[in-house]
Chain A
Amino acid sequence: MVAVSPETTSLPLALEGLSVAYGERPAVQQLTLTVRPGEIYGLLGSNGAGKTSTIKAIVGLVRPVAGEIRVFGLDALRDSLAAKARIGYVPETSMLYEALTPREFLEFVASVRRMDPTAATRRMQSYAEAFRLEAELEEPIATLSNGTRQKVLIVAALLHAPPLLVLDEPLNSLDPRSVRIMKDVLLRYVASGGRGVLFSTHTMEVAEQLCGRVGILDHGVLRGEGTLAALRERVAAGDVSLEEIFLRLTEEDVGVRAAVDSLGDPSV
């Protein structure tokens, strides 16, 4: 059990023994991790490793079968509304109210977040301008491309300047310009102090560039956690990439080679 102390109340996120299951099938097992103030924490894992299940539990979409989730010391399972108020969330897939326009959707989000109209408008306008969304603000979401929908979700997550951002593959479908903007926004965001970001990805380069610490999930179990340097030390490797560390920790490095070898010549 995570004790509530001044330290934990300043921690953007603390998971303790979190387990998620779908029926009999476990998705996340006994996961313990923290996101520290001023930190971008990268949650890495293959497809089906449990990243999205972990994130869904944090934002209240899935009820964990065991464990605790604390957002700035608040018990997210008991006091879910207060915890959700402190979180900005970008889901893995852009599931939105298709019949609304981005402006209508953002207005709904701003209402639920009880935002002041002036601040909400100012923040929407500045993010819409940065992500070149202005022309699409009045188009129904159903008619927008995946990349534009993703931008809408990012703006919605940042709209109320939450102290904790929970991002599930947020750079998917974004154009290179928007990816660059998003990376810079995140780095500035945590630099302003006290805030934290939980960032799930299976793109190792992005994690290397952005994350202070990473956690490697495999079949719902945390195989390793720490800074890039600490992880290199753990796998007793030299100047290897995060991808190599990931494969070694998940014991898939041999499997990858065998799989490629078994394919033979792809042109044949």
Chain B
Amino acid sequence: MSWREALRLSDVAFTELSLQAVFAFRQGNVLPAGTPKSLVARSRRRVLQSKAVISAVVGLLTLGAAAILHQKALNPEILSAVPVGLFQSAILTGLFSLDIALLWWTGVQVVPTLISSGVLTVLEPLPIDRRTLERVSTILYLRLFDFPALTILILTPLGVGLALGPLAGLAALPGALVAVVYALALSLLTGRFFLRRVQGSRGGGGRALLRWAYLVLWLVPAFAMFAFITAAPAFFRVLAELALQGPSVGSGLLAAAFPFSFAALPAIAAGGTSSLAILSPSVDLVLGGAAAFYLALAVWSIVWLAGSVRTLLFLPAQTPVALPAALSTLRPTGLARAVLLKDLRIASRTPGYAFLILLPILDAGALGLLTYATPAQNPVAASLALGAVTTAALLATFFGPAFFAIEVVAYSYGRSLPLSNRSVVFGKVALICLMYLVAAALIVGFTLLRFFQPFTFVAFVLAELPAVLAAAFVELGLLFRWARRRGLAITNLYAGAWFAVLVSVPGLILAGVPPLLFDLTQRLGTELGLGVMALVAVAELALATPVALGRGAS
């Protein structure tokens, strides 16, 4: 069969995937009222809106990077210790890394949905040849990423071209292309890995620890976008030192590293090899060799993707190994704790949810390390630590509401249990608080190692806690009201996640106001600042609780 036939079949499969992702009827969600045509149109529109949001983020990043490149080109004295070409390469290194991270993150969100939907399983027994099925699978997989990937491929050369000239723009294209291919390959690789080693992991405390360890390891690259921004000043310091040294082993290693090998190409096209100040004929050779190697790897990845997407989509369910019957016991807990435990167990086998829990915690770890690395006599060190706690609170309240989506899984069964919405809300709020407290404990731990002011830091964390609770109550209360009214499942990024993001706005305000007030009042005394902060946070909690527990919400 032809590509045209594959395209037609993939369109049918994508419609089914959109419907399942948006309405989650396979999980037992009742379809909202409407004709099949209108429901299909609505699901396609929602998927399109979500893709547009991700594309906009990617586009803004690209244009922001282009603006920085343009500024540096106009004012070379910005960060004067770093030569123009090296600076441009560094910015593009960051951009390509973020492109990969964002696309990969998208993949992590939507690939499990694609796998669990089984949309292609219905095609497998039909008389369709293997090659057509592979084409259908590949097209379907590419369509998950189409708009964001096209935004990267079009805007990167365009933005770089506008900033540094058309030749530089053209030289940015291989880097953008390789970044997209790697992100797609990583999404598939991690999808397969987690299906086998994390989602398929047996129960038990030891294995749960191992799963979380896997998830942390896996998150480190995805965490790169935050780490990169956090580590940017140190990165530029290293670059300045390398520039001072001139061509060296260090610059050779940098030239061989991905994505620097591609990020350097537009800078060379714009200003020649001398603009980087770290290149020499031998380093040039390393740079060229590395770029060729990464390009070859990208070509191989494309071939691998074309052949592997189908096997992933039809990955057979693992047959459990018949082990000797173990004496399993049940340890029932309280209702909210049961919800919390269930969410943590699900997250330990579901990368998308694990990401949401681990990101604020890992971010807190990175910020805590940064605080630890800041000299104690530096006046901003203490503010940095308190800012880090605030960030932990904001991230926990931003990502926490996404756990509402777990309630959509096994929706029909869960709703048949005598479990009130109030208990579910308490369980989710407990999870958000846990995320905040673990993250805050990490920061405080690092900070106390540096400057011992336990009262201030512990009091700050505790004063912020009611605000985090208030934010969590408001967010979940609004989500429950909305879900009850719309009957819509929030299952993933492409399924109306915009509302989960929207409810974060009041949540972020509630979590952000007390630290802001502390910042304003602490000049009159730290104790006064902490008192004001705690008072406002408690008032917020008193006002927010009825939103979550009042009629219509719970």
Does A associate with B in a complex?
yes
- Indicate whether A182 reaches chain B with its CB closer than 8 angstroms: no
| Selected contact of B330 from candidates A91, A121, A139, A142, CB within 8 Å | A121
A62 at the interface (CB under 8 A from B): yes
Residues A85-117 near B (CB distance < 8 A): 85, 87, 89, 91, 93, 95-101, 103-104, 106-117
User: Which residue in chain B gives the minimum CB-CB distance to A106?
Assistant: B330
Q: Give chain A interface residues in 141-168, CB to chain B under 8 Å.
A: 142-145, 153
Q: Residue-by-residue, is B312-332 near A (CB-CB < 8 Å gives 1, otherwise 0)?
A: 000001111011111111111
Residues of B within 8 A of A104 (CB): 203, 342, 345
| Contact call A84/B417, Cβ cutoff below 8 A | yes
| B114-149 contacts to A (CB < 8 Å) | 116
**CB of A125 within 8 Å of the partner chain:** yes
B328 touches A134 (CB 8 A): yes
- What sequence of 0s and 1s flags, for each residue 392-416 of chain B, a beta carbon within 8 Å of any chain A beta carbon? 0000000000000000011111011
| B31 & A112 in contact (Cβ 8 Å cutoff) | no
Cross-chain contact B328 with A111 (CB below 8 angstroms):
no
Bound-complex Cα distance A150 to B34 (A) = 32
Q: Indicate if B221 sits at the interface (CB-CB under 8 A).
A: no
Cα distance, A64 to B162, chains bound together (Å): 61
Q: A136 within 8 Å of B by Cβ?
A: yes
**Distance between Cα atoms of A202 and B264 in the complex (Å):** 69
Q: How far is the CB of B351 from chain A (nearest CB, A)?
A: 10
Please indicate the chain B residues that have their CB under 8 angstroms from the CB of A121 in the complex.
328-330
Asked if B333 lies at the interface with its beta carbon under 8 angstroms from chain A, I say yes
A142 to B346, Cβ gap below 8 A?
Answer: no
Q: Does B349 belong to the interface (CB within 8 Å)?
A: yes
A135 near B322 with CB under 8 A, answer yes
Given contacts A85-B418, A95-B27, A117-B329, contact A23 B34 (CB under 8 A): yes
How extensive is the interface on chain B, given as a class?
35 or more
A103, B320: Cβ atoms closer than 8 Å: no
Closest approach, in angstroms, between the C-beta of B444 and any C-beta of chain A? Answer: 32
| CB-defined contacts of A120 to chain B, threshold 8 Å | 330, 332
Q: Which residues in B have their C-beta under 8 angstroms from that of A230?
A: none
Partner of B337, one of A111, A114, A138: A111
Q: Report B41-80 CB contacts with A as 1/0, cut-off 8 Å.
A: 0000000000000000000000000000000000000000
Chain B residues closer than 8 Å to A115, beta-carbon distance = 330, 332
- Contact between B418 and A62 (Cβ–Cβ < 8 Å)? no
Which of chain B's residues have a CB closer than 8 A to the CB of A99?
Answer: 199, 345-346, 348-350, 409
| Binary contact readout B16-36 vs A (1 if CB under 8 angstroms, 0 otherwise) | 000000000011101101100
With beta carbons under 8 angstroms apart, the residue of A22, A98, A107, A128 that contacts B331 is A107
Q: For B322, list chain A residues within 8 Å (CB).
A: 135
In the bound complex, do residue B28 and residue A81 qualify as a contact, i.e. CB atoms below 8 Å apart?
no
When the two chains form the complex, which single residue of B28, B330, B333, B341 contacts A103, counting CB atoms closer than 8 Å? B330
Summarize B's interface: helix, strand, loop or mixed.
loop
Stretch at the interface among A6-14, A53-61, A213-221, A255-263: A53-61
- Nearest residue (CB) in A for B415 is A61
Any chain B CB within 8 A of the CB of A240?
no
CB < 8 Å neighbour of A108 from B201, B341, B348: B341
Q: How far is the CB of A170 from chain B (nearest CB, A)?
A: 14
Residues of A with C-beta under 8 A to B342: 97, 100, 104, 108
Q: Which residues of B contact A24 (CB under 8 A)?
A: 33
A137: interface (CB < 8 Å): yes
A224: Cβ under 8 A from any B Cβ: no
Question: Residue of B at shortest CB range from A25?
Answer: B33
A-facing mask of B180-205, CB < 8 A → 1, else 0?
Answer: 00000000000000000001111110
Q: Is B438 an interface residue (CB 8 A)?
A: no
Known: A128-B328, A140-B349. A112 touches B34 (CB 8 A): no
B330 to A112, Cβ gap below 8 A?
Answer: no
The reply to whether B412 and A112 form a contact with Cβ atoms under 8 Å apart is: no
Q: Please indicate the chain A residues that have their CB under 8 angstroms from the CB of B203 in the complex.
A: 101, 103-104, 137-140
Binary interface encoding of chain B residues 236-254 relative to chain A, with 1 for a CB under 8 A from any of its CBs, else 0: 0000000000000000000
A164 to chain B, nearest CB (A): 12
Q: Does A82 contact B (CB under 8 A)?
A: yes
A69: which B residues are within 8 A, CB to CB?
none
Say whether A81 contacts B420, CB under 8 Å: yes
Give the docked Cα–Cα distance between A106 and B417 (Å): 12
Are A142 and B200 neighbours in the complex by a CB distance under 8 Å? yes
In angstroms, Cα B410 to Cα A109, docked, is 13
CB distance from B408 to the nearest CB of A (A): 11
List residues of chain A with CB within 8 A of the CB of B525.
none
Which residues from chain B contact A116 at a C-beta distance below 8 Å? 332
| Chain A, Cβ-Cβ closest to B115 | A142
Tell which of A82, A137, A145 has the most Cβ of chain B within 10 Å.
Answer: A137
**For the complex, is A124 an interface residue (Cβ under 8 Å from B)?**
yes
List, sorted by A's number, 29 A–B pairs whose CB atoms are closer than 8 Å.
A22-B33, A61-B416, A89-B416, A91-B413, A91-B416, A95-B410, A96-B413, A97-B342, A99-B349, A99-B350, A100-B342, A103-B203, A103-B330, A104-B203, A104-B342, A108-B338, A111-B334, A112-B419, A114-B335, A124-B330, A125-B327, A134-B326, A137-B328, A138-B202, A138-B203, A143-B200, A143-B318, A143-B320, A144-B317
Known: A142-B317, A145-B317. 4 other contacts (CB 8 A): A81-B418, A81-B419, A108-B342, A140-B349
Binding site for B on A (CB under 8 A): 22-24, 56, 59-62, 81-82, 84-85, 87, 89, 91, 93, 95-101, 103-104, 106-117, 120-121, 124-125, 128, 134-140, 142-145, 153
